[in-house]
């Protein structure tokens, strides 16, 4: 009697067989993606197919690190993982640990590997980045002599600075020999001692841009003593060369903008600097002159010369006042003198004599003012204006205050 097994027992048995199989535990399968479904849980369900058949695949959310791009139906991929049995459905599936694109995908893998390697060596380190000079007089360009890139760089560079010397190294930027040509170009231009070098090309497929992902090119950029600006493809294309360069420009046009200073702006800035300096110095000098003038004035006020002048002025003033006072006084005294003289003249006995009065003295020189001072026979001296008369008293008459006359002894003069 044959033994009868349950479904579960069979599935478990098969699962165990799969698990024990060394090859199925780690296997890489290539095929085209179909029935792709990104589940909300984070798991990805899809099928791999080729001309001969189909295999179900799942990548669990926990293994998502093994997928570096967005999968799409129809992509040719290589899935690495294990083939195991899903007991419930009695199906086997490929449990994906890692998914990579075939072809371009492999290149991307190489890109990542090289990037990691060079990064670990420090070739992308910020400390080795050279500053791009603010004002470049000479610009080296390593790119294809044909194509838009070189024209874009030339147009923009010369528009910003028509006095710029551009030196092109016409390089082969894709295909066999491209990396050697680019390396030679970098080395040749570096030896010329230019101010800055642009290395790049226009857009293209990842294969077209591949030369800029080569280690030799990265090394040449890293070793270049002239600052290097990389400009490969479009904004979204990032190459190893970009990491190694001192500065990455998203496009060749942008590289020209970054490499070349706007010379008109620079010249204007210089002119402005000159004006500011001249103005600053002029106003300073003027201020200093003003202060000097002020000091000179204050000094001259304070100087002994001015004080002497002041004193001299004072002296002259006093002299004048003294003079005036003297004149006034003199005039005053002269006036008083005249008045007095006038009065004196009125009082002068001589004047009286002139009016017919005379003055009488006795023989002893005494002034005779009364009849009592003389007597008959005495000699009297009568003074008149021009001399004196000697006379003898003949008679004396008394004249009373009441007007009656009395005769004393006769005789009259």
Partner 1 sequence: MDKKELTVEEAFELLDSVVERLEDQETPLEESFALYQRGMELLKLCNEKIDTVEKKMMQVNQNGELEEF
Residues near partner 1 (CB under 8 A): 133-135, 137, 145, 154, 158, 162-170, 185, 188-189, 263, 266-267, 269-270, 273-274, 276-277, 280-281, 284-285, 288
By C-beta, is 74 or 131 nearer to partner 1? 131
Which residues are registered as beta bridge partners of 92? 85
Least separation in angstroms between CB 196 and partner 1 = 12
Comparison of 71 and 263: residue with beta carbon closer to partner 1: 263
Min dist CB 241 to partner 1, Å, is 20
Contact assessment for residue 141 and residue 243, using Cβ atoms and an 8 Å cutoff? no
CA 184/CA 275 separation, integer angstroms: 47
State the nearest-atom distance from the C-beta of 135 to partner 1, in Å: 4
> Closer CB to partner 1, residue 47 or residue 143?
143
- Go through 185-216 and write b for each residue having 16 or more CB atoms within 10 A of its CB, e for each that does not: bbeebbeeebbbbbbbbbbbebebbbbbbbee
> Considering beta carbons, is residue 59 or 166 the nearer one to partner 1?
166
Least Å distance, CB 258 to partner 1, is 14
| Nearer to partner 1 among residue 80 and residue 172 (C-beta) | 172
Nearer to partner 1, 61 or 270 (CB): 270
Q: Which is nearer to partner 1, 98 or 154 (CB)?
A: 154
Q: What is the 3-state secondary structure (H, E, C) of the chain?
A: CCCCCCHHHHHHHHHHHHHHCHHHHCEEEEEEEEEEEECCCCCEEEEEEECCEEEEEEECHHHHHHECCCCCCCCEEEEEEEEEEECCCCEEEEEEEEEEECCHHHHHHHHHHHHHHHHHCCCCCHHHCCCCCCCCCEEEEEECCCCHHHHHHHHHHHHHCCCCEEEEEECCCCCCCHHHHHHHHHHHHHHCCCCEEEEEECCCCCCCCHHHHCHHHHHHHHHCCCCEEEEECCCCCCCHHHHHCCEECCCHHHHHHHHCCCHHHHHHHHHHHHHHHHHHHHHHHHHHHHHHHHHHHHHHHHCHHHHHHHHHHHHHHHHHHHHHHHHHHHHHHHHHHHHHHHHHHHHCHHHHHHCCCCEEEECCCCECCCHHHCCCCCEEEEEECCEEEEEECCCCEEECCCCCEEECCCCCC
Minimal distance in Å, beta carbon 288 to partner 1? 5
State in angstroms the smallest separation of the CB of 180 from partner 1: 14
Query: Which is nearer to partner 1, 36 or 263 (by Cβ)?
Result: 263
To partner 1, the closest distance from the beta carbon of 146 in angstroms equals: 11
Least distance in angstroms from the C-beta of 227 to partner 1 = 12
Nearest residue (CB) to partner 1, 165 versus 205: 165
CB of 106 to partner 1, least distance (A): 35
């Amino acid at each position: 009697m044959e033994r009868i097994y349950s479904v579960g027992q069979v599935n478990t048995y098969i699962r165990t067989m799969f698990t024990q199989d060394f090859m199925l535990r780690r296997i890489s399968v290539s095929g085209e993606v179909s029935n792709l479904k990104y589940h909300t849980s984070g798991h990805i369900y899809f099928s791999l197919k080729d001309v001969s058949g189909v295999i179900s695949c799942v990548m669990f959310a926990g293994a998502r690190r093994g997928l570096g791009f967005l999968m799409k139906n129809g992509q040719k991929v290589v899935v690495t993982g294990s083939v195991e049995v899903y007991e419930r459905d009695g199906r086997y599936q490929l449990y994906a640990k890692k998914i990579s694109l075939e072809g371009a995908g492999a290149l991307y893998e190489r890109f990542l590997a090289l990037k990691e390697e060079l990064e670990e060596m420090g070739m992308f380190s910020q400390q080795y980045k050279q500053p791009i000079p603010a004002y470049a007089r000479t610009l080296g360009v390593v790119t294809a002599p044909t194509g838009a890139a070189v024209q874009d760089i030339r147009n923009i560079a010369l528009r910003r600075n028509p006095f710029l010397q551009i030196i092109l190294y016409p390089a082969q930027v894709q295909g066999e020999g491209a990396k050697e040509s680019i390396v030679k170009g970098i080395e040749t231009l570096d030896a010329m001692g230019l101010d800055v070098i642009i290395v790049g090309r226009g857009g293209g497929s990842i294969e077209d841009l591949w030369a800029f992902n080569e280690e030799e090119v990265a090394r040449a950029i890293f070793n270049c003593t002239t600052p290097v600006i990389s400009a490969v493809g479009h904004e979204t294309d990032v190459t190893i060369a970009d990491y190694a360069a001192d500065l990455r420009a998203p496009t060749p046009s942008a590289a020209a903008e970054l490499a070349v200073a706007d010379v008109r702006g620079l010249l204007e800035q210089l002119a402005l600097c000159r004006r500011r300096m001249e103005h600053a110095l002029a106003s300073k000098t003027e201020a200093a002159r003003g202060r000097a003038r002020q000091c000179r004035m204050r000094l001259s006020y304070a100087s002994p010369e001015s004080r002497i002048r002041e004193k001299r002025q004072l002296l002259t003033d006093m002299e004048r006042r003294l003079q005036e006072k003297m004149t006034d006084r003199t005039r005053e005294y002269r006036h008083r003198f005249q008045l007095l003289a006038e009065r004196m003249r009125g009082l002068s006995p001589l004047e009286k004599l002139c009016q017919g009065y005379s003055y009488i003295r006795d023989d002893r020189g005494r002034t005779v003012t009364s009849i009592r001072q003389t007597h008959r026979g005495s000699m009297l001296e009568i003074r008149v204006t021009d001399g004196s008369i000697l006379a003898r008293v003949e008679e004396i008459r008394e004249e009373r205050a009441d007007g009656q006359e009395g005769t004393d002894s006769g005789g009259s003069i």
